[in-house]
Amino acid sequence: MDRLSIQMLGSFTISFNDQRISDQDNRSRKVWALIAYFIFHRKRTIPQDELIDLLWTEDQQNNNPAGALKAMIHRARNTLDALWEGAGKDLILHQGAGDTWNRSYPCDVDIDLFELLCKPAADGHHDYAKDVEALRVYRGTFLPNMSAETWVIPVAAYYHNCYIQRLLETLPIMLQNEHYNDVATLCQAAIAVEPFQEEIYCYFMRALLAMGDRTGAVRIYQKLRESLFSNFCILPSEET
């Protein structure tokens, strides 16, 4: 059976063979929020009351919240039908007093891979290649178009912190092994995700200086200086 490919870090996309849908293609925020919630909680059946609270505040709920939820699930299924005919009914199932993502349908979700790669080895061994792969998988904030959703905020913070921790543990090892190009590439991507982490700029400058690119190192320093001053009215540390 062909597998779904789901990206939730940096953007929210669902791909199947040559078909791809994204929360940027549809303006219905609630529909995509519902699909994302099903995928993130796909290991359990979600009660209807929980889904109603997810989609509408108490003031927004009408006299028939169950009917409104049914209509929203119908719209979510229609959105998924762009992957293949009948995909919506195949993927979102009604079970008892709730609804669930079809756990039997094979799918690859980037957050699953990211968590697996970030998990420390049982023997405490630091796997350099595994760390680099984890940093590659993290393409940005978890569900960026839903960053204001109450349930998304702590999850996004968790993955972001995992990424920064793994990055700051891996960069010194890469510098020690003289993988300067790799350090520069990772730092450039990291600054787009975390533009105010001074330590990342320092690793970037060290890599550029090691490669003889003094002009590039000065440029990165100036970028850090401008970013810190324009946002916080502070300057880089003396060490930097």
- The pLDDT, as a whole number, for residue 88 is 96
- Tens-place pLDDT, residues 16-46: 999 999 998 766 889 999 999 999 999 999 9
Which of these, 161, 172, 233, 170, lies nearest to 197 by C-alpha position? 161
63 has a pLDDT exceeding 80: no
The pTM of the full predicted model, rounded to 2 decimals, is: 0.89
* 144: three-class secondary structure by DSSP: helix
* pLDDT > 90: percent of the chain: 82
68 neighbors 56 (Cβ within 8 angstroms): yes
Runs of H (alpha helix) within the chain: 29-40, 48-55, 65-80, 87-91, 110-118, 128-137, 152-176, 180-193, 198-210, 214-232
What are the b/e assignments for 111-138, b being 16+ CB within 10 Å? beebeebbeeeeeeeeeeebbbebbebb
Q: For 77, which DSSP code?
A: H
